[in-house]
Structure 1
């Protein structure tokens, strides 16, 4: 049996699986297999599937099963920790995914709250308790990014952890100094994962245990180097963060303001980094950033973040 994560051992730079898409909008499993191999070779703290960047919202159940099985087989062979995102807007489908995926023995399951009709406080508990019972000894991570229908507050996370002991971690938007002050008491019992491009701030605040990292989309190896830098030279790591944010402001924010989705931005980051053959294409009906626009952003990124290349 694989070693399960705890709130104390869930740490670091986790890389997100991105779906290479054929022109006919099918998943290119050959390129996906190569991508996983490249991620493993870059040696992050772990790999996770089926987040926003993995286009969890736009897969069939057969495709979901095939992606997770491929990831699990490769990660187990390489002794690489991995989390499976059983995320789905339907709570019933989330449960069925857990039942099918338990045999793959991931290090944890990631879940989102039911997402079409928002859930109240009691419904959040009812959902997570039943999910925890279905998962058995496999711990849970609550994926609650800023685009979730229901964005929780620090006290909500503490309440849920008290009522659902197998909830070991959260992915959150982070916030200002007041947010960190409010979150700090709960960071002892939960692994708090903040946005990748603000990870050094989260570490400086004594709250962040790691990131499910958009920065790893640029370079898995570069993001891992940056995480390790935070452990012994936080001042330098904060300087790197300033340069990351400058790159985002110059090359990513304009696309976000033009209406491109987070999956489109994440795939564009991977194309800028150039470490794998993922491509920028998304599935219908979502628009993607043309590959022809990668070159200019790559020049800026190489200038600002030479360590990542």
Structure 2
């Protein structure tokens, strides 16, 4: 997919899928394939793997490669696929991004390096070298709450100007003023995605291309419908769905993502809810709250006052 095709196609709800594990913590690739089929059947507009929700920092390099390869083959060009290829290690980011291109991904999502706290100058060099090494469209992933550094709008605008294949940014950034200035400085055709659930609808209102929302793991059809309603001009329906999703969004982020997600998907019978340490399932009290909210959405059965 070239840049122009990507700018037309990479819109809507791009679902960032969890990485399923067996009890022995090995990859459960069959379940990953099943989840991808479910998402596509449910109306997700695109698929992403090995982003934050996919626990990439808990995977070995070879495991990340296997998840990417499995997902790209499972999607089979039915919708766009955008694997996360970034790392705190520059050479690893280069390797994974090149590999995503070789495997046939439609674009790659490259996170701002975490833990290192690089300067804006260093961030520019990091992303510029990755962009220059591939032809595949790139989406930068800015999530300062996890990386401890914010990619400033000025740096992003410079990258956009100097790297034609950097086509957008996923902003997991609660600073909505910053987000508005992204489109002001990068242009209205720059693809802006929300990575904050409560900003998915507001992001569309200012000209965003869509969102990469973890909540899509649990309710993919409803999350996709927000974009469909907005895109068809049904603003009232999009706004109604935005508020309808808020209780689910809230409970899924009462602990660190993807722990509540995996607990929820386990309750729904979609996965074995296994995480790798240092991540773990939420406390039992939160799991009960998650069950209650899922029951309110009809995602698990409620019998009387008990949720099963």
Pick the TM interval, shorter chain.
0.7 to 0.9
Alpha-carbon distance in 2 for matches of 1:308, 1:130 = 47
For 1:5-27, what per-residue CA distance to the aligned partner results, in whole angstroms no more than 9, with x for missing partners? Answer: 43454211011121111221111
Aligned residue number for residue 202 of structure 1: 203
Aligned position for 2:169 = 170
Q: Alpha-carbon deviation of 1:58?
A: 1.0
Structure 1 residues 61 and 174, CA gap change in structure 2 (3 angstroms): closer
Q: In the alignment, what sits opposite 1:91?
A: 90
- TM-score, length-normalised on structure 1? 0.85
Tell me the number of residue pairs that the alignment of Structure 1 and Structure 2 aligns: 296
Partner of 1:144: 142
Q: What whole-Å deviation, never above 9, does each CA across 1:243-294 have from its counterpart, x for those lacking one? A: 3223444x345x33xxxx222133235446x3x6223321022221378965
Give the deviation of 1:105 after TM superposition. 1.7
Change (3 A) 1:221 1:181: closer
In structure 2, C-alpha distance between the alignment counterparts of 1:252 and 1:38, rounded to whole Å? 20
Structure 1 unpaired stretches of 5+: none
Taking the aligned partners of 2:273 and 2:56, their CA distance within structure 1 comes to 16
1:262 corresponds to:
257
- 1: CA distance between counterparts of 2:180 and 2:263? 34
Deviation at 1:153, TM superposition (A): 3.2
Q: How does 1:39-188 map to 2 (within 5 A)?
A: 39-76=39-76, 78-135=77-134, 137-145=135-143, 146-175=145-174, 178-185=177-184, 186-188=186-188
Change (3 A) 1:37 1:3: farther
- CA-to-partner distance for each residue in 1:194-232, whole Å, 9 max, x for gaps? 12332111122x232111112212211221122212222
- For residue 151 of structure 1, report the CA deviation from its aligned partner: 1.4
In structure 2, distance between residues paired with 1:86 and 1:180: 23
Shift of 1:49: 1.0
Stretches of structure 2 that go unaligned for 5 or more consecutive residues are: 302-308
3-state SS of 2:274 partner? coil
> Where does residue 234 of structure 1 map in the other structure?
235
RCO higher in structure (CA 8 A, sep ≥6): 1
- Which secondary structure does the structure 1 equivalent of 2:210 belong to? strand
Alpha carbons 2:124, 2:159 under 8 Å: kept: yes
| 2:260 and 2:290 in contact (8 A); partners too | no
Shift of 1:306: 6.2
**Per the alignment, in what secondary structure is the counterpart of residue 228 of structure 1?**
helix
Contact kept, 8 Å, 2:47 with 2:81, in 1: the verdict is yes
| Counterpart-to-counterpart distance in 1, 2:207 and 2:285 | 39
Identify the range of structure 1 (284-293 vs 63-72) with the bigger mean alpha-carbon deviation: 284-293
Matching residue of 2:273: 280
Please, what TM-score do these two structures have when normalized by structure 2?
0.85
